[in-house]
Amino acid sequence: MTPEKSLLCSVPEMNELPIVFEKVLQLNTVGVSYACISPSHFPEHSDPNLKIGIPLNQVSLNVKWQTASGQQKSQSVKEGHISIVTPNLPHETWSERQMDMIIINLTPGFMWEVAEDLKEKPMEIREQWAARDSFIQQLGRGLLTEFQHGIPGRLYVESVGNVLATHLFRHYCTDKLSISNQTDELSPQKLRQAIEYINEHLEQDVTLADLAKLVQMSQYRFARAFKNSTGLPPHQYLLECRVQRAQVLLAQTQLSIAEISYYLGFSSQSHFTATFRRFTATTPKAYREGL
């Protein structure tokens, strides 16, 4: 894969990256990928975005980087670690074995917007090459599941970006912060607008940006207020509405399960079946047969 299409890294000296495969979804503010990388050496390079690397299997990665003060540092990344690579950080890496990895890119503009919503002051994330963080590991496993069924939905990826940015500011900021758990809720009118939009666009790849623009809020504040109002983050609410509509279609139409999956915007029939089972504890086929 060429560097221009990959979220792994951009190395000027490399025309082709040593990637066995990579699935990528790049949005305006957040990008995610699931990649398998061959053993290789990546000469010194940097990235304009904040990058989170989440290894999924045994990994042996050596890193050398230069801090903002010009100090040279090195570290080994092992199984169970996650890496937080700050924008424009010069670094060089050697991977000693093939590894699978989830990569999340967050643009500086997006991080600035979240910072303004949280604290209304500039905040800086510090690099971490070998951190142990169960929350970020959990986000990685969730993205892996979505990639195994196809490409993650835009609303899901944007929601991951929001909760990840908040987590980074809480735990990896250069300044000690006290970020309160915001309890704002949507007004009844704005909540009704958002719910109506979701139900009218179940078959489409609804985005957090669409919903936030509809009610004239930032994506971060909308996502928090929507969850406080409904008890579910927007992407979970969308899935619940799709499953409820699927139950109606299974009961009242002769559409096949594959047709219903496609009609409701799932990336694959297996994704539809897995989601339906998660919400109802049964499969679409068993649900229809039990009517």
Compute CA distances 64 → 90, 124, 140, 172, whole Å: 9, 21, 24, 20
- Fold entry, domain 240-289: Arc Repressor Mutant, subunit A (1.10.10)
Q: Confirm if 226 and 186 have CB atoms less than 8 A apart.
A: yes
Tell me the helices (H) and strands (E) count for the chain, helix number first.
Answer: 10, 10
Q: Which mean pLDDT values do the consecutive 10-residue runs of the chain (291 residues) have?
A: 65 77 92 93 90 89 85 89 93 90 95 81 83 96 93 93 92 72 83 96 92 92 93 95 96 95 91 94 95 85
Lookup: tokens for 98: 């093939």
Residue 102 near residue 59, CB atoms below 8 Å:
no
CA distance to 112, 119, 182, 184, 259, per residue, from 178 (Å): 17, 9, 12, 17, 49
pLDDT score for 181: 59
- Within 10 angstroms of residue 104's Cβ, the number of other Cβ atoms is 25
pTM above 0.75, yes or no: yes
Indicate the pairing of strand 61-66 with strand 30-37. Answer: unpaired
CATH topology for 3-171?
A: Jelly Rolls (2.60.120)
| Count of positions (residues) in the chain | 291
Q: What was the pLDDT predicted at 3?
A: 45
**Could you tell me which of 56, 48, 45, 55 has the C-alpha nearest to residue 76?**
55
DSSP state of 77: E
Note the pLDDT of residue 4: 47
* Residues 6+ positions from 120 with CB-CB distance below 8 Å: none
Between CA 157 and CA 166, with CA 160 as vertex, the angle to 5 degrees is 145
Contacts of 291 (CB under 8 A, 6+ apart): 250, 251
For the chain, the structural domain boundaries read: 3-171, 188-198+206-231, 240-289
Instruction: Confirm if 96 and 137 have CB atoms less than 8 A apart.
Output: no
> What pLDDT was estimated at residue 2?
46
Strands (E), 38-179: 40-45, 50-55, 61-66, 72-77, 82-85, 91-95, 99-106, 128-131
Task: Give residue for tokens 């949507």.
Answer: 186
Q: Which amino acid is at 131?
A: A
What is residue 223's predicted lDDT score, i.e. its pLDDT?
92
